[in-house]
Copies of this chain bind each other. A is one copy, B any other.
Amino acid sequence: MKKILIADDEPDILEFLKYNLVKEGFEVSTANNGVEALKVAYSAHPDLILLDVMMPEMDGIETCRKIRETAALKNTFIIFLSARAEDYTQIAGLESGADDYIVKPVKLRVLISKIKAFFRRAEEQEGNKIFIKELIIDKDKYTVAKNKKELHFPKKEFELLFMLASKPNKLFTRDEIYNKIWGNEIIVGDRTIDVHIRKIRDKLGDDLIKTIKGVGYKFDNHE
């Protein structure tokens, strides 16, 4: 669940944004000025900060600069949300380290879409991992770990396991497997899948992959 910090000196705006972002499923904290925003940022480590430019105590640009000096917050997105539309303010905001500068007024739905675009990009880096039973299958690292111990899986075995594990308990017919792993051009004998399945079972144990005779295989995930 992503955490958002909103810093604005107008209570109405704060309340409105908080209400709507919570409704979207975000965890929201608020601050009324720059100093407070910094304090909350240090302790709550939000994933994204919506920052007003004009605030008492410390303005948004200065706040942004300070946040960027903090190593622990370097992955935090900062978006300015301000009524001030002059070029130089926008440029100053972006150059102080913000990721975006949005001029108010902005439609709520548009703002939410922009926020989601940032998170989508961030999540992309995190990679394709499947956590299932005592396994961690990591497609980016091309590893399968069982109880923290990494095992080596050659290409075909990895692809087959990944396919089955990506939809636990779903039955994959032999045809589906052939099509996905080998494609339409390559034709291999009937025993090829079996042998690969056996090799996976050798490494991970016999219980994980279940045979449905006459049909196919499935990754069994009933505790």
Q: List residues of A whose CB falls within 8 A of some B CB.
A: 74, 87, 90-91, 94-95, 97-101, 107, 109-110, 113-114, 116-118, 120-121, 124-125, 140-143, 150, 154-155, 169-171, 212-215, 218, 222
Q: Is the CB of A213 within 8 A of B154?
A: yes
A196 to B57, CA, bound (A): 47
Q: Is the CB of A213 within 8 A of B141?
A: no
Contact status of A141 and B169, CB under 8 A, knowing A125-B125, A154-B214, A213-B154: yes
- Which residues of B have CB within 8 Å of A155? 212-215
Q: Is the CB of B214 within 8 A of A140?
A: no
Q: Is the CB of A91 within 8 A of B117?
A: no
Sample (8) of A-B pairs whose CB atoms are under 8 Å apart? A90-B113, A91-B113, A98-B117, A99-B117, A141-B169, A141-B170, A154-B213, A155-B215
Q: Is the interface of A mostly helix, strand, loop or mixed?
A: mixed
With CB as the reference atom, state the residue of chain B lying closest to A118: B99
From B121, B141, B212, B222, A142 is in contact (CB under 8 Å) with B212
Q: In the complex, what's the smallest C-beta–C-beta distance from A88 to chain B, in angstroms?
A: 8
Total copies of this chain within the assembly = 2
Contact status of A101 and B114, CB under 8 A, knowing A213-B155, A214-B154: yes
A142 to B167, CA, bound (A): 13
Q: In the complex, what's the smallest C-beta–C-beta distance from A110 to chain B, in angstroms?
A: 5
Q: In the complex, what's the smallest C-beta–C-beta distance from A80 to chain B, in angstroms?
A: 11
Q: In the complex, what's the smallest C-beta–C-beta distance from A209 to chain B, in angstroms?
A: 14
- Which residues of B have CB within 8 Å of A110? 87, 90-91, 94, 101
A29 to B99, CA, bound (A): 24
With CB as the reference atom, state the residue of chain B lying closest to A116: B94
Q: In the complex, what's the smallest C-beta–C-beta distance from A78 to chain B, in angstroms?
A: 10
Q: In the complex, what's the smallest C-beta–C-beta distance from A211 to chain B, in angstroms?
A: 11
Contact status of A171 and B142, CB under 8 A, knowing A94-B116, A113-B95: yes
Contact status of A74 and B117, CB under 8 A, knowing A100-B100, A142-B215: no
